[in-house]
Structure 1
């Protein structure tokens, strides 16, 4: 017998659709620029119970550690959507750009991409200037004189620490994530085993 929140629809299929819709609403504004690699997109589980369960576990995993959040495509998309509400999405976009930068194998591409990242995120009054200290900014500028895959490591690390200590706790306390986590917990605690004709019990 299904046990779920009274606000959920009256069939298991409708409940799953409602859960997916709410997650989609939370994430629909999450669109990252081309410099972060492929656009991060919301990837909810399908109607199949195993995939839905995996997605619920993914959602709950975001609160276990910042590493788990960053390793989840949906987690990154959700966190980015939250940061946009605080007008601080540049920190995550810079971190993602650095992750993609490290994968480049061509020396020529490495140099050109490094300059683009510096101009967009690191230099003073950059369009998406990240919050780093003057010493780190100048160190990064110096590193670009002999570009390597690690030239942004210090700046990326400080930006990550800032997000983990500042934005991440607020994300976990946000009403949007709290609602997501509550629904994910319900889905895991009370997996649907009823037929659409059966009524739900709260």
Structure 2
């Protein structure tokens, strides 16, 4: 029987978080095989310098860029924290759904995947927001996840996005876009 993370002693959770952080740091190091590329297919993706620098203007500018979202998602994967962005994207897709039947099905799937306690990709929401979202599912509308999505957006904007902009991942994207090589010169 799986007891979930809440059943583990606090010291185990702290060690697991520390391990996750250390593993994420290792994935950032170029000598450990870290590469920038098309994040969904594994092929190398080139971005223009204007595009990459444009992502610094604001978090919303980043989210409006398909390539920006892909790059941000790739960064979040190196930190094992992509669930917030995936939830936000699922909510954006959900809001475009017009069929009442499909709304209900998608709402339940999003709730089970991201919102309910111990969901496979559980996002960090306070109890009140989680319960309000659960109540919203009784009548699925395009606004069911509005509050939860807004809180997730704010969390990413205040936490993940600044880390992304300061990261070696973003720096590498900028250097690739500007055509600079980061390899060491060969001495003869």
Q: What TM-score do you get using the length of structure 1 for normalisation?
A: 0.67
Change beyond 3 A, Cα 1:157–1:27:
farther
Q: 1:119 aligns with which of 112, 118, 134?
A: 112
Aligned to 2:97, what secondary structure does the other structure show?
coil
Q: 2:36 aligns with which of 26, 36, 44?
A: 26
Q: Which residue of 1 aligns with 2:66?
A: 73
Q: Which residue of 1 aligns with 2:149?
A: 156
Partners of 2:44 and 2:61 in 1: CA distance: 16
Q: Which has the higher contact order (CA 8 A, sep 6+)?
A: 1
Report deviation, 1:42.
8.0
Report deviation, 1:180.
2.0
Confirm or deny: 8 A CA contact 1:121 1:130 kept in the other structure: yes
Confirm or deny: 8 A CA contact 1:136 1:154 kept in the other structure: yes
Structure 1 residue 61 corresponds to structure 2 residue 54 = yes
Aligned to 1:154, what secondary structure does the other structure show?
helix
Q: Which residue of 2 aligns with 1:98?
A: 91
CA-to-partner distance for each residue in 1:74-119, whole Å, 9 max, x for gaps?
A: 1111111111111110000000000000000000000000000000
Partners of 1:72 and 1:91 in 2: CA distance: 17
Partners of 2:37 and 2:45 in 1: CA distance: 11
Report deviation, 1:181.
1.8
Structure 1 residue 144 corresponds to structure 2 residue 137 = yes
Aligned to 2:120, what secondary structure does the other structure show?
coil
Partners of 1:71 and 1:43 in 2: CA distance: 21
Greater C-alpha radius of gyration: 1
Structure 2, unpaired ranges of 5+: 1-34, 181-188
Report deviation, 1:153.
0.5
Report deviation, 1:56.
2.2
* RMSD between superposed Cα atoms in Å: 2.3
Structure 1, unpaired ranges of 5+: 1-24, 32-39, 46-51, 188-202
Q: What TM-score do you get using the length of structure 2 for normalisation?
A: 0.72
Partners of 1:27 and 1:66 in 2: CA distance: 21
Q: Which runs of 4+ in 1 moved over 3 A?
A: 40-45, 182-187
Confirm or deny: 8 A CA contact 2:36 2:172 kept in the other structure: no
Q: Which residue of 1 aligns with 2:78?
A: 85
Q: Which residue of 2 aligns with 1:171?
A: 164
